[in-house]
């Protein structure tokens, strides 16, 4: 099987599992306990926090461990918006992950927030001028993802965040898909909050982190024992945090070289698919995109059926986001990019990690051609 659905999730790396193992067995203590086993868990948690902080270029105290990307997004959006004395206005985009969109929707329904959505172009890039025009003195939060999970477009986050900084508006970015591919230095990005998720980069499902700049108040979403400096109650997932830190170390070791190699392989793959299927269109931005994502529409075909045909040929891919897979709705991302509903339903996303080499990827393009022709009833 060739697994090309890394944007949905990735396998746990052996080194990650080995790093976690002691904290599930011998050193299984609760970090809040005042005995040796607890203290050793607390030390491991502190070390993991320091690793994540150095990855993000922030202070350890600014890292909140969460159960994943969804919780990090919920905490950023709801937590910052509700705690802010500025007002009740949010600016976001129509192509955010559901974790952001549904949190914003909750704030509108339950807390009287008004929401403005900055438009995106056909390439998935946010219209920078339209974004700037939506910012108001009472804007509480702007949230724009670093890289899109369906089409892979990478946004000019530093430029957008600079606009909000001038107006002292907190800026959150969902970096779940960018993690492992792009540098996530929060100082260079200029963001006040940033979400990551472990299972997209070789750590297990159920661990993630939110960076929140020290001076920004956050209203917790989970109340209880006051862990994570009161921002996220609940006994800490020590083994998960250790696993996330191990995955971060692996991902950052050769990040630039991995991204470069994957970009070259991706471009060759895109060209090969377009040569196989002349009607196909690459979705998202041609160059400002994730190294490990290539997504297409195949007008006149059917995305779900192509997926089945590809799986019969040993290639696992996805019609878009894993959350939306199987739902009747066309992708909200492709609709926001201006695709018609019937074309949006023909989407197939291929996504991979650094372990997938160029030769493997190249071998998939003919399978894509075969699958699309099979669906069209046009066998070679």
Interface segment toward ligand PLP; rule CB under 6 A; list 65-73, 135-143, 295-303, 351-359:
65-73
Q: Does 354 bind ligand PLP (CB under 6 A)?
A: no
Out of 68, 152, 190, 202, which residue is the one contacting ligand PLP (CB under 6 A)? 68
Residues 186-215 that bind ligand PLP (CB under 6 A): 197, 199, 208
Q: Using alpha carbons only, give the angle 359, 361, 365 rounded to the nearest 5 degrees.
A: 115
Instruction: Give dist(CA 279, CA 107) in Å, integer.
Output: 42
The single residue of 260, 308, 323, 362 carrying the catalytic annotation is: 323
What's the order of all strands across the beta sheet hosting 281-282?
281-282, 293-297, 347-351
Out of 95, 141, 144, 176, which residue is the one contacting ligand PLP (CB under 6 A)? 176
What is the x/- site pattern for ligand PLP, positions 95-114, by CB under 6 A?
--x-x---------------
Residue 6: name the closest of 145, 179, 154, 143 by CA: 179
Residues 209-248 that bind ligand PLP (CB under 6 A): none
Out of 84, 92, 149, 227, which residue is the one contacting ligand PLP (CB under 6 A)? 149
Q: Is 323 a catalytic residue?
A: yes
Per-position DSSP letters for 127-167, written without gaps between them = -HHHHHHH--TTEEEEE--SB-TTT-BBP-HHHHHHHHHHT
| 3-state DSSP assignment of residue 54 | helix
* Closer by beta carbon to ligand PLP, 48 or else 367: 48
Q: Does 70 bind ligand PLP (CB under 6 A)?
A: yes
Report the nearest approach of ligand PLP to the CB of residue 122 (Å): 20
Interface segment toward ligand PLP; rule CB under 6 A; list 66-74, 134-142, 309-317, 358-366:
66-74
For residues 212 and 74, is the Cβ–Cβ distance under 8 A? no
Instruction: Give dist(CA 358, CA 260) in Å, integer.
Output: 12
In sequence order, the β-bridge partners of residue 295 are: 349
Instruction: Give dist(CA 145, CA 158) in Å, integer.
Output: 12
Residues 270-329 that bind ligand PLP (CB under 6 A): 321-322
| Backbone CA torsion sign across 163, 95, 101, 9 | negative
Catalytic residues: 323
Give contact residues for ligand PLP (rule: CB under 6 A).
68-70, 73, 97, 99, 145, 149, 174, 176-177, 197, 199, 208, 321-322
């Amino acid at each position: 099987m060739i697994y090309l659905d890394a944007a949905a999730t990735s396998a746990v790396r052996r080194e990650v599992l080995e790093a976690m193992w002691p904290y599930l067995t011998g050193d299984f203590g609760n970090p809040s306990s005042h005995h040796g086993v607890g203290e050793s868990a607390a030390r491991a948690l502190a070390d993991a926090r320091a690793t994540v902080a150095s990855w993000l270029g922030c202070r350890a105290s600014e890292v909140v461990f969460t159960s994943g990307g969804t919780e990090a997004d919920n905490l950023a959006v709801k937590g910052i918006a509700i705690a802010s004395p500025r007002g009740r206005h949010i600016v976001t985009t129509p192509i955010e992950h559901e974790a952001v969109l549904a949190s914003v929707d909750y704030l509108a329904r339950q807390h009287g927030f008004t929401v403005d959505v900055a438009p995106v172009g056909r390439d998935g890039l946010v219209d920078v001028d339209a974004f700037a025009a939506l910012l108001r003195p009472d804007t509480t939060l702007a949230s724009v993802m670093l890289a899109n999970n369906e089409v892979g477009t990478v946004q000019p986050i530093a430029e957008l965040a600079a606009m909000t900084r001038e107006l002292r508006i907190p800026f959150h970015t969902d970096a779940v898909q960018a993690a492992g591919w792009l540098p996530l230095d929060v100082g260079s990005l200029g963001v006040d909050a940033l979400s990551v998720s472990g299972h997209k980069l070789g750590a297990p499902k159920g661990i993630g982190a939110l960076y929140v700049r020290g001076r920004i108040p956050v209203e917790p979403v989970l109340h209880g024992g006051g862990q994570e400096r009161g921002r996220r109650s609940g006994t800490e997932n020590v083994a998960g945090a250790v696993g996330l830190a191990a995955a971060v170390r692996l991902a950052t070791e050769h990040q630039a070289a991995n991204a470069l190699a994957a970009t070259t392989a991706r471009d060759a793959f895109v060209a090969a698919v377009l040569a196989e299927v002349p009607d196909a269109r690459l979705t998202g931005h041609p160059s400002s995109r994730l190294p490990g994502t290539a997504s297409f529409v195949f007008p006149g075909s059917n995305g779900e059926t192509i997926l089945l045909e590809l799986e019969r040929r040993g290639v696992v891919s996805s019609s878009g986001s894993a959350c939306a897979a199987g739902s009747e709705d066309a992708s909200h991302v492709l609709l926001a990019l201006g695709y018609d509903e019937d074309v949006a339903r023909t989407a197939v996303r291929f996504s991979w990690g650094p372990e997938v080499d160029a030769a493997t990827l190249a071998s998939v393009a003919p399978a894509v051609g075969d699958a699309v022709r099979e669906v069209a009833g046009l066998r070679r």
